[in-house]
Amino acid sequence: MITFTLSRTAGDPVAIYTDPQMSAEQIEKIRDMYHFNDPIYVQYFYYLQGIFRGDLGYSVIMGIPVSEVIIRLFPATIELAMYSWSLAFVVGVILGTKSAVGKDKVIDHSSRVIAITGYSMPTFWLGLVLLFIFYFWFGILGPGRLDNLIYHTHFPPLGSFRTYTGLYTIDAILNLDWIVFFDAVKHLILPVVILAWGNLAIITRIMRSSMLEVLGKEFIKTAKAKGLSDKSVINEHARKNALIPTITAAGLSFAFLLSGVVMIEEIFNWPGLGSWAARSAISLDHAGILGFVLLVGAIYSFSNLVVDVLYVYLDPRIRLN
Amino acid sequence: MTPRLKELKFTFYRIKQSPLAVLGVIIITAFIVIAIFAPYLAPPNEPDPYLLPKTWITEPQPPDAQYPMGTGVYGTDIYYGVIWGTRISLRIAFTVVAFSALIGVFLGSIAGYFGGKIDYIVMRLTDMFLAIPSLLLAMGITSFLGRNLINMINALIIVWWPRYARYSRSEVLSVKEEGYIQSAKAVGCTNWQILFRHVLPNSIYPILIVTTMDLGMVVLVAAGLSFLGLGAEQFTAEWGNMISMGRDWVIWGKWWASFFPGLAIFLFVLGWNLLGDAFRDILDPRLRRA
């Protein structure tokens, strides 16, 4: 609904599909094709219908339909998002647990500082700075997904690299092509780390507070009284229970991830959905922008749904109720 | 001494105790001072002080005596931009947060307090807006409104108020059931009186925390938008804008054009986040003196 309202606010919707030199007839034809002449509620109906059929309009800057853009650019962004999210989650859980266990000690304060700095840092700035340090000074870890040379020698038509998923790391393993694999990893390191750092904050904080809460509970004392070592108590009993709110937080951090992706992709010339969205926004490619916003909304709602379901599933109290 | 004043003094005491909070306050004060004394620190550029002064040298020049932070594209004085950018950033931060908080808290508390249809409408509305991450929604809205500082501020307000509505609604819902509200009703206070004199002041603490951190986050998002090209106009002394202008030269080794504005953003946001995070610990009623 939001995307529809937005699309109708910006002046004459036909403008982007037409050229001043087109004849009046052709303009009228386009108006009809897109139902711009019909009353507003009819337009909304066609809009919804279009979405369900997979028709999101035409992206002017790319020259192909929006849905096709999404399908094509999806793997690149997924690769980035997947690794960042996992990194953020793993490091967040570890840091969170350690901070809770060593409350108010060095580890607690330093992890808090790490988290807050990651959260306060403009991702695009950090990206630029790190690109400068690693690319200009040290000459490694450049922008893009692969080095040009490697790309042209390994991929068709010169090489015999077969693309299965579109994610270079996985495809490289499937192809047993280690050169491509290492190159892809090299190019992934910087963007993934930067993106993950921003997400760390929330995951660490929630993990820490939920660990603290769990550690104060009765059953922990029972376990310790039973004679279980501290380490196993923490790892087995406490952590599993503390993970539950953290998963919810991880789902929320998805939003941060999605916005971060746009910035990172812009800086690193990563050919994914994020940089496409940025370019659509600047060039006022309405269909593109709306398609992206719609996609993001869908992804985010879906991930929230998944998190909610997981929560119910994992928390035995709710399940058995 | 009235209880509320005592609480306030205690809050200040707790702030002084936390090193991170003190750091945050120092950073923020520094920025405010810079903003106030901007014309003295960097002579204003006529006719519009917020436009960066230009020369015709395209390549950024490294820092030297005349340009303490170097120049950016077209000889723009980076130091000047950072100083005057402080004013713009503070203005953006306070405007957006003030308006979205006013709208959000108002709508949220009515929804929570009166319930029923108003609640339903407000909830659906906020749901719609919260389904999309703030940066992306702001991107969408600004691209439709036009590339302009004021449009960006408006877009940010539109994006931000639902969060406040949500928070204040849940706070109001929990405060509503407290005993003193019932007593107020029994004494004969009208609904509006109860809302403003009893419910709101007691539900304000979490919102205060969020507001403080938002003052920083808003600038972060605004800088991001300007960086992408959706905010301030060309050559305006806004930090995100300046980063984008210097961006292409970074890989050629001319780092200062993007580094200093970005550093400014980072410190600014850091200051408010430190303060907000410290507030979170300080204002938590369960953690205050037993």
Tens digit of pLDDT for each residue in A211-260? 777 777 766 666 666 666 666 666 666 677 777 777 777 777 887 888 88
Nearest to B220 among A3, A122, A262 (CB): A122
Helical (H) or strand (E) element with B160: helix B149-176
Name the residue of chain A whose CA is nearest to B281's CA: A209
Tell me how far apart the alpha carbons of residues A278 and A280 are, in angstroms, rounded to a whole number.
5
Q: Does B74 contact A at CB distance below 8 Å?
A: no
| Model pLDDT for residues A279-312, shown as the tens digit of each residue | 887 777 767 777 777 777 778 777 777 777 777 7
pLDDT for the residue A21? 43
Question: Which amino acid, one-letter code, is at A277?
Answer: A
CA-based nearest distance A283→chain B, Å: 8
pLDDT for the residue A10? 41
pLDDT for the residue B97? 92
Q: CB pairs below 8 Å between A and B: how many?
A: 137
pLDDT for the residue B99? 92
| Buried-exposed string A88-124: b where 16+ CB fall within 10 A, e elsewhere | bbebbbebbbbbbbeeeeeebeebbebbbbbbbbbbb
Chain B residues lying within 8 Å of A119, measured CB to CB? 273
pLDDT for the residue A18? 43
Nearest to A128 among B128, B229, B247 (CB): B247
Q: Tokens 């109708």, residue? A: A8
Q: Does B281 contact A at CB distance below 8 Å?
A: no
CA nearest neighbour of B162 among B91, B216, B105? B105
The pair of three-digit structure tokens given for residue B245, joined into one six-digit string: 């202008």
What Å distances lie between residue A134 and B64, B246, B251, CA to CA? 25, 18, 10
pLDDT for the residue A321? 47
Q: Could you tell me if A51 and A60 are in contact, meaning their C-beta atoms sit under 8 angstroms apart? A: no
Tell me how far apart the alpha carbons of residues A112 and A109 are, in angstroms, rounded to a whole number.
5
Per-residue pLDDT of chain B (290 residues; tens, 9 = 90+): 567 677 777 777 777 777 777 888 888 888 888 888 877 777 776 666 677 666 666 667 777 666 777 777 776 778 888 888 888 889 889 999 999 998 988 888 888 777 788 888 888 788 777 777 888 888 877 777 777 788 888 888 988 898 888 888 888 777 777 767 777 777 776 766 666 666 677 777 778 888 888 898 899 888 888 888 887 777 777 888 888 887 877 777 777 778 888 888 899 998 898 888 877 777 666 555 43
CA-based nearest distance B172→chain A, Å: 23
Q: Complex ipTM above 0.95?
A: no
Name the residue of chain A whose CA is nearest to B133's CA: A255
**Chain B 241-270, residues with CB within 8 Å of chain A CB atoms:** 243, 247, 250-253, 255, 258-259, 261-263, 265-266, 269-270
Chain B residues lying within 8 Å of A131, measured CB to CB? 250-251
Nearest to A125 among B141, B228, B266 (CB): B266
**Chain B 139-178, residues with CB within 8 Å of chain A CB atoms:** 139-145
| Model pLDDT for residues B243-266, shown as the tens digit of each residue | 888 787 777 777 777 888 888 889
CA-based nearest distance B188→chain A, Å: 41
Quick count: other Cβ atoms within 10 Å of Cβ A312?
Answer: 11
Q: Does A264 contact B at CB distance below 8 Å?
A: no
The model scores a pTM over 0.90: no
Q: Does A119 contact B at CB distance below 8 Å?
A: yes
pLDDT for the residue B144? 72
> Are the Cβ atoms of A284 and B259 closer than 8 angstroms?
no
Tell me how far apart the alpha carbons of residues A156 and A230 are, in angstroms, rounded to a whole number.
56
Q: Secondary structure of chain B: what % helix, strand, coil (to 5)?
A: 75, 0, 25
pLDDT for the residue A204? 84
SS3 B51: strand
Q: Name the stretches of chain A with pLDDT < 50.
A: 6-23, 27, 321
Q: Does B134 contact A at CB distance below 8 Å?
A: yes
pLDDT for the residue A52? 57
Name the residue of chain A whose CA is nearest to B246's CA: A128
pLDDT for the residue B95? 92
